[in-house]
């Protein structure tokens, strides 16, 4: 099987693993893979490299990086016969954790050589044309992504410090959310997130019970919590009860329209974009093929 490893040397933990590229080469040689390793050089480059791999006949493309790298590569693979494999090296690794994939490089590589591993088909989403595979969001969600992307050192503690600084400055905005099926709500929103998986990453479950193969997305809106209300919400993220808070409103569907007063930021899998005041979010059912362990609860791809 022709394989292409796309390695982002700037992804969170990759900066601290100078030998990882050599380990990939050694693994490919030991497994006698028809494989090459290519390196990203700038934002957006992983998408170009993935398209080149498809044109070169690769059947499996391995993302060695974080959620942003995964997003760039997966964009090129949507609707293609090639399968995406993950060697998660980011600070959140939300999609990998949702799917129960290993987050240690050696175990991730072992899955590539596992004869019982299988390919499944998962849903993907778009937000004003920007693809996402784990989650997108606006409001505080997008602001914290913007700040986090500027950090040179990442991780859960860095995320918490950045989140506190952003929280103290962030102001809610009035939004209207509709789903095309008669539901329409207007409220002051602190966060509006749309999740494909159940979590942001680091086991923070923003949409407990969400699935990536049900043909639906989960919209989770948070009304302004205030300083005293924020800590219980953070605790709920890690306890799996986030959507049980009275400040949280959840809606499941295949298409959402989010209207806000002015254009602004959104994030898709942690990468930020300036976009229009109206944000159209839609699901593309079972549009990405992905390598998972034998025990994954998602049905195999045909």
What tokens appear for 243 in the block? 């959507």
Query: Are 152 and 98 in a shared domain?
Result: no
Cross-strand partners of 274: 265
Is 34 a member of any domain?
Answer: yes
Q: Whole-angstrom Cα distance, residue 206 to residue 212?
A: 14
Domain that residue 183 falls in: 130-285
Give residue-wise pLDDT tens across range 101-156.
998 888 999 999 999 999 999 999 999 999 999 999 999 888 888 877 776 666 66
Q: Per-residue pLDDT tens for 18-28? A: 688 888 999 99
**Is residue 291 situated within a structural domain?**
no
Instruction: Name the token pair of 205.
Output: 């479950």
Tell whether the model's pLDDT for residue 269 goes beyond 60: yes
Residue 28 belongs to some domain of the structure: yes
Instruction: Provide the domain count of the chain.
Output: 2
Q: Are 176 and 39 in the same domain?
A: no
Q: What is the CATH number of the domain that holds 157?
A: 2.60.200.40
CATH number at residue 55: 3.40.50.10330
Residue 298 maps to a domain: no
Question: Per the domain annotation, does 295 fall within a domain?
Answer: no
In a domain, 297, yes or no: no
Of 141, 133, 98, 122, whose CA–CA distance to 258 is shortest?
141
Tell me, yes or no, whether 122 lies in a domain.
no
Question: How many Å apart are CA 162 and CA 159, to the nearest integer?
Answer: 5
């Amino acid at each position: 099987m022709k394989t292409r490893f796309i390695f982002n040397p700037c992804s969170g933990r990759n900066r601290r693993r100078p030998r990882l590229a050599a380990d990939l080469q050694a693994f490919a040689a030991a497994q006698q893979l028809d494989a090459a390793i290519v390196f990203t050089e700038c934002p957006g480059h992983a998408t170009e490299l993935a398209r080149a791999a498809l044109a070169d006949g690769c059947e499996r493309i391995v993302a060695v990086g974080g959620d942003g790298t995964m997003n760039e590569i997966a964009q090129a693979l949507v609707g293609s016969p090639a399968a995406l494999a993950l060697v998660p090296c980011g600070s959140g690794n939300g999609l990998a954790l949702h799917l129960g994939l290993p987050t240690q490089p050696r175990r991730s590589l072992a899955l590539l050589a596992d004869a019982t591993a299988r390919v499944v088909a998962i849903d993907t989403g778009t937000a004003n044309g920007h693809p996402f595979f784990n989650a997108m969001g606006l409001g505080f969600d997008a602001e914290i992504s913007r700040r986090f992307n500027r950090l040179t050192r990442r991780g859960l503690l860095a995320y918490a410090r950045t989140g506190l600084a952003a929280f103290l400055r962030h102001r809610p905005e009035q939004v209207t959310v509709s789903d095309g099926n008669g539901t329409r709500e207007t409220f002051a929103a602190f966060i509006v997130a749309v999740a494909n998986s159940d979590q942001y990453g680091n086991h923070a479950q923003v949409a407990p019970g969400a699935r990536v193969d049900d043909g639906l997305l989960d919209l989770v809106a948070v009304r302004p919590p205030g300083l005293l209300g924020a800590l219980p919400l953070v605790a709920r993220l890690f306890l799996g009860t986030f959507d049980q808070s009275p400040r949280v409103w959840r809606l499941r569907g295949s298409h959402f329209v989010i209207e806000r007063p002015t254009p602004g930021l959104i994030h898709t899998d942690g990468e930020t974009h300036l976009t229009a005041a109206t944000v159209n979010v839609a699901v593309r059912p079972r549009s990405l093929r992905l390598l998972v362990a034998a025990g994954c609860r998602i049905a195999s791809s045909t």
